[in-house]
């Protein structure tokens, strides 16, 4: 079984052509700008939308584990919640939802296959995203092997935060790596995201040596975090021979998810970043002879 957060059909921004993106649960990082914070844990996780909630307490009454409380706002004790979803079932205004469901590989394949004709006509395929898609390595690797066997183009959107042996196993099956680089400075990277610079960059070295033409570097450009070092990331990518860099301007579209998870969002008052803010880097890319795109 694989823990899936969401399957998005007609995904057009995570690799070439028309794609289906499978958002997988589990991530070793905890980036404070994350647009999919519900994927951090493998658990089936309750999300509660304060704006939809009418405080009828139906969820509280039905919860056998006493995981829900109001004081007066909705509170969830995640240690008690077993993900039975009875609360969601009784919530008329649909304030409660759950992220994460277990799917068999066959179930995933069935969903994917619905758009086979679209992949074929657009040179598209499947993108594994997350979370960190290799977090559930064992099962996901089986899925990847079957996808390859069936002839799908496979892209994988990864953090780089896993054992090198994992990467070595997976690499031959992957057609496109969309590889995050969030920062080059060890302290900044590790203190803010929880990543290990050593692991990520060792993995990048490996990709550079074995299949650099299959790698696109993706950098979310976050105000106050890595804006100053975008140029350095491009230079790094150039040095390693990667084919492209995508700069993803900061957006706040994941904000609601943070609220619904009852987590504090660091960038509460941060404005969305204008694409034009980064346009000079496409020029830099031309000078350096490396493709730099703004957006995915």
3-state helix, strand, coil in the chain (%, to 5): 40, 20, 40
Structure tokens at 111: 């969903």
Residues constituting the chain: 296
Determine contact, residues 27/135, Cβ cutoff 8 Å: yes
- Give which of 205, 132, 193, 213 is closest to 164, Cα–Cα: 205
User: Which of these ranges, 24-32, 139-147, 270-278, 285-293, lies near another protein under the rule CB under 8 A?
Assistant: 270-278
Q: Determine if 122 is a binding residue for another protein (CB under 8 A).
A: yes
Q: Determine if 286 is a binding residue for another protein (CB under 8 A).
A: no
Stretch 81-100 residues interacting with another protein (CB under 8 A): 90, 92, 94
User: What residue ranges in 185-225 does DSSP mark as E strands?
Assistant: 215-221
**CB 45 to another protein: min, Å:** 18
User: Which of these ranges, 60-68, 131-139, 204-212, 269-277, lies near another protein under the rule CB under 8 A?
Assistant: 269-277
Q: Determine if 45 is a binding residue for another protein (CB under 8 A).
A: no
**Residue 108 neighbours by CB distance under 10 Å:** 21
**CB 10 to another protein: min, Å:** 4
User: Which of these ranges, 1-9, 131-139, 180-188, 239-247, lies near another protein under the rule CB under 8 A?
Assistant: 1-9
Q: Determine if 8 is a binding residue for another protein (CB under 8 A).
A: yes
Task: Report how far residue 188's alpha carbon sits from residue 160's, in angstroms, rounded to the nearest whole number.
Answer: 16
Q: Determine if 159 is a binding residue for another protein (CB under 8 A).
A: no
* β pairing state of 74-76 and 68-70: antiparallel
Q: Determine if 251 is a binding residue for another protein (CB under 8 A).
A: yes
User: Which of these ranges, 25-33, 238-246, 273-281, 283-291, lies near another protein under the rule CB under 8 A?
Assistant: 273-281
Q: How many residues bind another protein (CB under 8 A)?
A: 38
Selected binder of another protein within 1, 66, 80, 117 (CB under 8 A) = 117
**Between 82 and 94, CB nearer to another protein:** 94
Task: Report how far residue 276's alpha carbon sits from residue 278's, in angstroms, rounded to the nearest whole number.
Answer: 5
**Sign of the four-CA dihedral 180, 183, 184, 188:** negative
Q: Determine if 279 is a binding residue for another protein (CB under 8 A).
A: no
User: DSSP letters along 42-104, please?
Assistant: SS-EEEE-TTT-----HHHHH-TT--EEESSSEEE-TTT-----HHHHH-TT--EEEE-EEE-
Selected binder of another protein within 114, 142, 150, 286 (CB under 8 A) = 114
> Which parts of this chain interact with another protein (CB under 8 A)?
6, 8-14, 17-18, 21, 35-36, 49, 51, 90, 92, 94, 114-115, 117-118, 120-122, 124, 129, 251-256, 272, 274-276, 296
């Amino acid at each position: 079984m694989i823990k899936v957060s969401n399957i998005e059909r007609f995904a057009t921004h995570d690799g070439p052509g028309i794609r289906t993106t499978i958002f997988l649960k589990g991530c070793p990082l905890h980036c404070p700008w994350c647009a999919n914070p519900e994927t951090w844990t493998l658990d089936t996780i309750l999300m509660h939308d304060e704006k939809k909630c009418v405080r009828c307490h139906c969820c509280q009454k039905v919860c056998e584990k006493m995981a829900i409380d109001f004081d007066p706002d909705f509170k969830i004790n995640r240690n008690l919640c077993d993900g039975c979803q009875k609360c969601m079932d009784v919530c008329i205004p649909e304030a409660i939802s759950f992220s994460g469901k277990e799917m068999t590989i066959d179930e995933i394949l069935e969903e994917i296959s619905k758009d086979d004709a679209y992949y074929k006509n657009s040179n598209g395929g499947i993108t594994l995203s997350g979370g960190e898609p290799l977090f559930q390595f064992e099962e996901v690797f089986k899925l990847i092997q079957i996808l390859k066997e069936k002839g799908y183009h496979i892209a994988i959107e990864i953090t780089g935060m896993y054992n090198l042996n994992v990467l070595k196993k997976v690499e031959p099956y992957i057609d496109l790596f969309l590889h995050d680089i969030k920062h080059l400075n060890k302290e900044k990277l590790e203190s803010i995201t929880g990543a290990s610079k050593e692991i990520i960059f060792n993995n990048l070295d490996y990709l550079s040596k074995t299949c650099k033409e299959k790698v696109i570097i993706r950098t979310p450009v976050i105000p106050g975090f890595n804006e100053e070092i975008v140029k350095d990331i491009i230079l790094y990518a150039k040095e390693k021979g990667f084919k492209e860099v995508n700069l993803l301007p900061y957006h706040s579209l994941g904000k609601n998810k943070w609220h619904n998870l009852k987590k504090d969002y660091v960038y509460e008052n941060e404005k969305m970043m204008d694409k034009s803010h980064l346009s000079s880097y496409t020029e830099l890319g031309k000078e350096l002879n490396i493709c730099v795109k703004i957006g995915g």
